[in-house]
Amino acid sequence: MPVPRSPGVTVEQDADGGGCFARLTIRPEVTIAEGGDPAKAEVRHRGANAECFIVKSLNLPVKHGATTAVSPAIGVGSNNPGKGKRGD
């Protein structure tokens, strides 16, 4: 059986030709509002495994490789800054 290849995923094949996921890296992309603190967001991601439902649902090592971007559009003219609505 061919072993699928994907960045961040390690699959181990057994002697019978079957296999299982051995390790996984998830790479969330987070966008914060302009004026937010990217360093603070990165610190929060370092402890994300303890609260992550994906990690808690799997029986294999899972790492986070998060990236953080800043967007001036988030929260402009919106009552809910998390939605990223623009006020035109």
Domain assignments of the chain as residue spans, ordered by start: 24-78
Q: Is the pLDDT of residue 51 over 80?
A: yes
Question: What is the rounded average pLDDT of the residues 72-87?
Answer: 51
Query: What pLDDT is attached to residue 4?
Result: 57
Question: What is the rounded average pLDDT of the residues 13-24?
Answer: 86
Q: For the purposes of burial, counting CB atoms within 10 Å of the CB of 1, is it exposed (0-12), middle (13-18) or buried (19 or more)?
A: exposed
Query: What pLDDT is attached to residue 80?
Result: 46
Q: How far is CA 5 from the centre of its chain?
A: 19
Would the pTM of this model clear 0.75, i.e. be above it? Answer: no
